[in-house]
């Protein structure tokens, strides 16, 4: 079910949705700007900064202190993960965070950002919502950094690029003056190390990129069919690009790919963009002035409207098409990209997951050292709603489940299909809670939600504005792949036994609670569930854990008795902890982990005391009580020390041919090329001994396990 908790945190950000009828821009309750993009196998991510923070932002006033991340699996419905990084949080020396870049590699999120116009830094996290930390300890570029700005006029606008061979790079720079000269404003560096806890910049790899005609700012690299594309904002405020067969250039100018956003509604200004491939299509993200030029505008944090239309920008997305090896000029649309797959309602979603919004605000709750929580706060006395598109209810939904706080009586959520006033499927009355951060889970009956519903509306109603906070929501019903909770392998695990932590019961949210609907792990196992499953330990483990998350396991106890509890776990941080309960009653001891290493790769057996169990079928619940512990397996009762290799990883190499090879402890032991060969044969011919290995493509997007038969 949906997580119940009452965490106290600081309220950091607000925005208000205007009645924008088009799908672009993708958020109508924030002024977002300077987008970058990255696509993984399952998710498309957009990283932005924000113009929310000053009501008087004029043409030359950039007060930008925060970064937001949005994601989508279907390119129509977007989850807003909230203000994931702010200047006054984990990294104290950030001033203005302009125009960041993003990459996601092996489940780690890297955000590269400028410190105003005076340098470039990087942060990393194992969760899209943070917490982010600085793996360098100082800026990469700038005063006091790893290296200096080398005479670049504007030492900012960084972008991060991961090549097919696994090498990672950054570009940065901008301006037409200074010692570097006109049209030669960007530097390229290679990272010699890029990991969650360690980032090293290869200073000797610095290259001044040449051939970017009339370059100004916003450098961005991507690659297609062996050609590197260097795109940038030029002196005319168009996004132009140049190409090369060598990442270091020189580059040859081609032309414009995104015109000045003034083409949309006559309001121009600077231009910024990102390009990324996702599920065989390419997409362009960019900012424009559609929202600030609309008849109703978002209110800012202090409730004021902007007094100028200067730098209040909004983020949009459209498909990027090609003419051979050339990019076609992006066509600005109101509808945005087509939806590429149905929306699955039988997951837990962060509340601000939608394709359109009206009269909603948002806030980001932040507690140091924890993932942020993004909360929807409707203006319920007005026409207030969010819309979700292309929702596939299958055989039918039976329940709507919402996790919300309500500081006033009479607040409710109506579920309508087709339109805001369309057929009413159900109503959820929200109980009054003790405060803004006291969330309670509510279930309500719904009906007539079967098959694909083109437009689903969650309509918020109440007598006062901003008196409810929605944290997450989802549906239950016969449309779920598994309606009832059942053991993972169909039969209850007979104790004594070792239980692989990733083999929690089937049944979706009935069998687990996870803060994030997406599986952020790198194991490519049970990707339809929100529990984060990582490679590690004896094969796979539960990772990226937050306090309050839990998983359940159905077991068969053969006879009454005392059953010692042991777990195989790791932690790269202090204060991680977990505990067990059986049928709702606590058993054993809470395990308070000591740091086993810096990267969660070192696992140790730990004791969790003893459980007094009675004969029969029971449900064991594993609950995380302190963030950031990985759990490979646990045992109830004395068992054999040998643990079988985890099963269920995908055995599909697809069209990628070059892979890094890891043993089951997570250590890289070599590389292999699968071109024209089965994985087992390729491993054997490359000299790998008989056994099981994890293969990862160099860009980190393809992962699977295979055995060498040698």
Residue with tokens 């390419």: 282
pLDDT of the residue at 482: 38
Confidence bin at 309 (pLDDT 50/70/90): low
* pLDDT above 50: residue 650: no
Q: Mean pLDDT for the chain?
A: 85
Confidence bin at 703 (pLDDT 50/70/90): low
pLDDT of the residue at 266: 80
143 or 692, greater pLDDT: 143
Mean pLDDT of 605-633: 95
3-state SS, one letter per residue, for 454-480: EEEEEEEECCCCCCEEEEEEEEEECCC
Q: Which of 611, 604, 587, 603 is nearest to 665 (CA)?
A: 603
* Radius of gyration for the chain, computed over Cα atoms and rounded to the nearest angstrom: 26
Starting at the edge strand that comes first in sequence, how are the strands of the sheet with 199-209 ordered? 159-162, 168-173, 186-194, 199-209
Question: What's the DSSP call for residue 312?
Answer: -
Mean pLDDT of 273-284: 96
CA 326 to the chain's CA centroid: 30
Mean pLDDT of 474-493: 73
3-state secondary structure of 651: coil
Cα separation, 385 vs 20, whole angstroms: 12
Answer whether 603's CB lies under 8 Å from 569's CB. yes
- Choose from 6-20, 380-394, 637-651 the range with maximum mean pLDDT: 380-394
Q: Which of 356, 389, 385 is nearest to 456 (CA)?
A: 389
Question: What's the DSSP call for residue 683?
Answer: H
Tokens of 66: 């925060």
Tokens of 622: 């594993």
Q: Which residues pair with 16 in a beta bridge?
A: 361
* pLDDT above 50: residue 270: yes
- Choose from 43-47, 124-128, 148-152 the range with maximum mean pLDDT: 43-47
Q: Which of 350, 373, 369 is nearest to 132 (CA)?
A: 369
Answer whether 701's CB lies under 8 Å from 685's CB. no
Cα separation, 410 vs 432, whole angstroms: 8
* 66-72 and 44-50 beta bridge pairing: antiparallel
Confidence bin at 12 (pLDDT 50/70/90): very low
User: By mean pLDDT, which of 287-291, 625-629, 668-672 is the weakest?
Assistant: 668-672
Confidence bin at 299 (pLDDT 50/70/90): low
pLDDT of the residue at 11: 35
Tokens of 659: 């892979």
3-state secondary structure of 622: strand
pLDDT of the residue at 141: 94
Answer whether 376's CB lies under 8 Å from 386's CB. yes
pLDDT of the residue at 608: 96
List the end-to-end C-alpha distance of the chain, in Å, as a whole number. 46
Q: Which residues pair with 349 in a beta bridge?
A: 473
User: By mean pLDDT, which of 34-43, 60-69, 659-668 is the weakest?
Assistant: 659-668
3-state secondary structure of 681: helix
pLDDT of the residue at 633: 96
Cα separation, 360 vs 29, whole angstroms: 7
41 or 495, greater pLDDT: 495
* pLDDT above 80: residue 75: yes
Confidence bin at 178 (pLDDT 50/70/90): low
3-state secondary structure of 439: coil
* pLDDT above 60: residue 80: yes
Phi, psi for residue 472 in degrees, rounded to 5: -160, 160
Count how many residues are written for the chain: 710
Mean pLDDT of 553-574: 94
* pLDDT above 90: residue 81: yes
Environment class of 443 (CB within 10 Å of its CB; exposed 0-12, middle 13-18, buried 19+): middle
Answer whether 370's CB lies under 8 Å from 546's CB. yes
pLDDT of the residue at 377: 92
* pLDDT above 90: residue 667: no
The H or E element spanning position 207 is strand 199-209
3-state secondary structure of 291: coil
pTM as predicted:
0.71
Phi, psi for residue 677 in degrees, rounded to 5: -135, 155
Mean pLDDT of 253-281: 91
* pLDDT above 70: residue 22: no
Cα separation, 160 vs 219, whole angstroms: 10
Burial 521-560 (b: 16+ CB within 10 A, else e): bbbbbbeebbbbbbbbbbbbbbbbbbbbbbbbbbbebeee
Domains of the chain: 24-327 (2.115.10.20), 349-477 (2.60.120.260), 493-636 (2.60.120.260), 658-708 (no CATH)
pLDDT of the residue at 705: 58
Whether the link from the prior residue into 131 is cis, omega within 30° of 0, is: yes
Q: What's the CA angle centered on 287, arms 239 and 292, to 5 degrees?
A: 135
Cα separation, 134 vs 154, whole angstroms: 23
Confidence bin at 656 (pLDDT 50/70/90): very low
575 or 504, greater pLDDT: 504
* pLDDT tens for each residue of 326-373: 999 999 999 999 999 999 998 889 999 999 999 998 899 988 888 899
Confidence bin at 302 (pLDDT 50/70/90): low
Mean pLDDT of 690-696: 69
Tokens of 363: 């806030």
Q: Is 107 left (phi over 0), alpha (psi -120 to 50) or beta?
A: left
* pLDDT above 90: residue 655: no
Q: What's the CA angle centered on 550, arms 625 and 582, to 5 degrees?
A: 95
Question: What's the DSSP call for residue 409?
Answer: T
Confidence bin at 204 (pLDDT 50/70/90): very high
3-state secondary structure of 117: coil
3-state secondary structure of 140: coil
Q: Which residues pair with 580 in a beta bridge?
A: 587, 622
Cα separation, 523 vs 77, whole angstroms: 25
Confidence bin at 1 (pLDDT 50/70/90): very low
Burial 671-698 (b: 16+ CB within 10 A, else e): ebebeebebbebbbebebeeeebbbbbb
User: By mean pLDDT, which of 53-57, 145-149, 562-566 is the weakest?
Assistant: 53-57
For the chain, counts of helices (H) and of strands (E): 2, 50
* pLDDT tens for each residue of 158-177: 999 999 999 999 999 998 75
* pLDDT tens for each residue of 84-93: 998 777 666 6
Residue with tokens 């009675």: 614
Cα separation, 309 vs 312, whole angstroms: 6
* pLDDT tens for each residue of 387-438: 999 999 988 999 999 999 999 999 999 999 999 999 999 999 999 999 988 8
Cα separation, 106 vs 695, whole angstroms: 12
Cα separation, 212 vs 209, whole angstroms: 7
Mean pLDDT of 301-330: 82
- Choose from 287-291, 572-576, 675-679 the range with maximum mean pLDDT: 287-291
Phi, psi for residue 307 in degrees, rounded to 5: -90, -10
Mean pLDDT of 537-566: 93
Q: Cα dist. 622→484, 528, 606, 634 in Å? A: 19, 20, 14, 9
Cα separation, 705 vs 679, whole angstroms: 9
3-state secondary structure of 508: helix
CA dihedral 529, 535, 541, 547 (to 10 degrees): -70
């Amino acid at each position: 079910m949906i997580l119940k908790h009452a965490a106290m945190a600081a309220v950091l950000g607000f925005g208000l949705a205007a009645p924008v009828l088009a799908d672009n821009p993708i958020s109508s309750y924030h002024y977002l700007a300077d987008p970058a993009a990255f696509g993984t196998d399952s998710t498309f991510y957009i990283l932005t900064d924000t113009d929310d923070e000053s009501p008087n932002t004029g043409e030359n006033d950039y007060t930008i202190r925060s970064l937001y991340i949005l994601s989508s699996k279907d390119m129509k419905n977007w989850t807003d993960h909230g203000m994931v990084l702010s200047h006054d949080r984990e990294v104290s020396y950030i001033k203005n965070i302009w125009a960041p870049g993003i990459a996601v590699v092996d489940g780690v999120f890297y955000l590269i950002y400028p410190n105003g116009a005076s340098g470039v830094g990087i942060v990393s996290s194992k969760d899209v919502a943070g917490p982010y930390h600085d793996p360098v300890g100082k800026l990469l570029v700038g005063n006091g950094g790893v290296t200096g700005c080398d005479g670049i006029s504007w030492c900012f606008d960084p972008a991060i690029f991961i090549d097919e061979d696994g090498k990672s790079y950054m570009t940065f720079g901008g301006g037409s003056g200074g010692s570097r000269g006109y049209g030669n404003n960007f530097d390229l560096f290679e990272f010699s190390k890029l990991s969650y806890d360690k980032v090293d910049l290869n200073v000797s790899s610095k290259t001044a990129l040449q051939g970017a005609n009339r370059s100004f700012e916003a450098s961005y690299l991507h690659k297609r069919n062996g050609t590197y594309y260097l795109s940038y904002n030029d002196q005319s405020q168009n996004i132009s690009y140049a190409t090369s067969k060598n990442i270091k250039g020189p580059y040859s100018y081609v032309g414009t790919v995104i015109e000045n956003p003034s083409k949309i509604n006559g309001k121009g200004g600077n231009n910024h963009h990102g390009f990324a491939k996702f599920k065989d299509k390419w997409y362009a993200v960019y900012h424009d002035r559609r929202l600030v030029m609309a008849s109703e505008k978002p209110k800012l944090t202090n409730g004021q409207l902007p007094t100028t239309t200067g730098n209040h920008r909004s983020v949009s997305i459209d498909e990027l098409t090609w003419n051979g090896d050339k990019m076609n000029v992006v066509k600005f649309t109101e509808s945005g990209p087509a939806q590429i797959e149905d929306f699955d309602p039988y997951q837990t979603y962060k509340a601000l997951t939608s394709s359109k919004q009206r009269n909603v605000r948002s806030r980001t709750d932040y507690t140091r050292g924890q993932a942020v929580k993004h909360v929807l706060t409707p203006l319920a006395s007005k026409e207030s709603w969010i819309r979700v598109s292309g929702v596939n209810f299958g055989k039918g939904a039976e329940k709507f489940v919402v996790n919300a706080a309500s500081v006033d009586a009479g607040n409710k959520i109506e579920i309508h299909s087709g339109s805001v006033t369309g057929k009413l499927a159900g109503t959820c009355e929200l109980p009054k809670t003790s405060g803004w951060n006291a969330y309670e889970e509510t279930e309500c009956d719904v009906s007539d939600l079967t098959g694909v519903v083109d437009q689903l509306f969650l309509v918020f109603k109440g007598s006062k504005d901003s008196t409810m906070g929605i944290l997450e929501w989802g549906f239950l019903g016969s449309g779920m792949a598994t309606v009832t909770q059942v053991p993972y392998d169909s039969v209850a695990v007979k104790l004594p036994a070792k239980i692989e932590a990733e083999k929690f019961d089937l049944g979706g949210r009935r069998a687990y609670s996870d803060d994030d609907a997406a599986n952020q792990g790198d194991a490519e196992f049970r990707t339809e569930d929100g529990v984060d499953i990582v490679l590690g330990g004896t094969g796979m483990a539960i990772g990226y854990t937050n306090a309050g998350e839990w998983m359940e396991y159905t077991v068969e106890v053969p006879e009454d008795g005392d059953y010692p509890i042991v777990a195989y776990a790791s932690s790269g941080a202090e204060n991680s902890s977990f505990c067990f309960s059986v049928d709702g009653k606590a058993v054993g001891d809470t395990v308070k982990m000591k740091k086993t290493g810096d990267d969660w790769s070192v696992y140790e057996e730990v004791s969790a005391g003893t459980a007094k169990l009675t004969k029969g079928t029971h449900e064991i619940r594993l609950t995380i009580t302190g963030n950031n512990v990985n759990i490979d397996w646990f045992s109830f009762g004395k068992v054999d020390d040998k643990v079988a290799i985890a099963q269920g990883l995908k055995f599909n190499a697809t069209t990628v041919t070059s892979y890094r090879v890891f043993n089951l402890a997570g250590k890289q032991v070599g590389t292999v090329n699968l071109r024209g060969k089965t994985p087992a044969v390729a491993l054997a011919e490359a000299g790998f001994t008989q056994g099981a290995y994890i293969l990862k493509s160099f860009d980190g997007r393809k992962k699977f396990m295979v055995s060498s038969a040698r």
